[in-house]
Amino acid sequence: MEFFSKFISPFKSIRLNEKNALTGYLLDHILVGTMYAEQQSAYLNSYETGLSKANISKLVKTYWEISNQDEAIEILQRLHDRNQDENLNIVYRAFENQENYVEILKSNLPDEEDAFVYYLNLFRKLKNVVPELKELNVITDFFQLKKIKDTGWNYGRGAFLARCCYELGYLSQNELIEYLAKSHTELKKYCSTWKEYTTSYIFGRAIWGGSNNNGMIQIANDLLNNNNSPLRNKTYI
């Protein structure tokens, strides 16, 4: 059955849980993970993902290398901490000032070689990703990304991963509720609208994975425009 569900699920757009659907602010909180959830063909409106145990296990253990509660908390916390990285602002500033990028990066980034190379590679990725996102009409100007950064990608993955960890028993329901609420509050500092959230998610994924973002763009459009989507009638986060 699992074999067939893998083929069928990509064609099933917008999965909603009709038995245990969340409403109100709890729904808003869970929607932070909506891009990742839709990517995995999971329920968008409940704590339960609606995915098989085997699928969740594979995602959490193989892709995220989480096999216990401690590892889950560590990874989920890291996804929140990434957004407070001040060095990202330096990389963005260097990207905007092509004439002085060398000076900006050399004088402001950490001297440690590994750290410097990490941010230098981010800078290089920006140079590839930003023109591509403009070409795909995801953004019209880099200015849009300066504010939202890749927070949608970080908080979004964290929110859905937390649901998976909850289903595997690594988080209690209270911990999940608390984590989702925090994700929602933090995300609002960067993204005002759900449209900004999806843009930020696409940007973060492009930085991570490079080209071929048409699938993500389609998911974002579906979430924002499909009549069944919980985001359809929500503009602001």
**CB-based contacts of 18, cutoff 8 Å, min separation 6:** none
Determine, following the binding rule CB under 8 A, whether residue 135 of this chain makes contact with another protein.
no
Determine, following the binding rule CB under 8 A, whether residue 174 of this chain makes contact with another protein.
no
Q: Which residue from 100, 216, 92 is spatially nearest to 148, judged by alpha carbons?
A: 92
Which is nearer to another protein, 79 or 94 (by Cβ)? Answer: 94
**Cβ neighbours of 118 (radius 10 Å):** 14
Among 8, 16, 102, 115, which residue sits at the site for another protein (rule: CB under 8 A)? 102
Determine, following the binding rule CB under 8 A, whether residue 120 of this chain makes contact with another protein.
yes
| In the complex, minimum distance from the CB of residue 114 to another protein, in angstroms, rounded to a whole number | 13
Task: For residues 184 and 31, give the distance between their C-alpha atoms in angstroms, rounded to a whole number.
Answer: 8
Determine, following the binding rule CB under 8 A, whether residue 101 of this chain makes contact with another protein.
yes
| In the complex, minimum distance from the CB of residue 70 to another protein, in angstroms, rounded to a whole number | 32
Task: Report the amino acid identity of residue 28.
Answer: D
| In the complex, minimum distance from the CB of residue 210 to another protein, in angstroms, rounded to a whole number | 8
Stretch of 7-15, 98-106, 158-166, 196-204 lying at the interface with another protein (CB under 8 A): 98-106
Which is nearer to another protein, 104 or 145 (by Cβ)? Answer: 104
Which is nearer to another protein, 64 or 101 (by Cβ)? Answer: 101
Task: For residues 161 and 123, give the distance between their C-alpha atoms in angstroms, rounded to a whole number.
Answer: 27
Spatial contact of 184 and 29, defined as CB atoms under 8 Å apart: yes
Among 67, 124, 208, 221, which residue sits at the site for another protein (rule: CB under 8 A)? 124
**CB-based contacts of 163, cutoff 8 Å, min separation 6:** 30, 33, 37, 42, 47, 48, 49, 176
Determine, following the binding rule CB under 8 A, whether residue 97 of this chain makes contact with another protein.
no
Determine, following the binding rule CB under 8 A, whether residue 132 of this chain makes contact with another protein.
no
Backbone angles phi, psi at 227, to 5 degrees: -60, -30
Binding site for another protein (CB under 8 A): 98-99, 101-102, 120, 124, 127
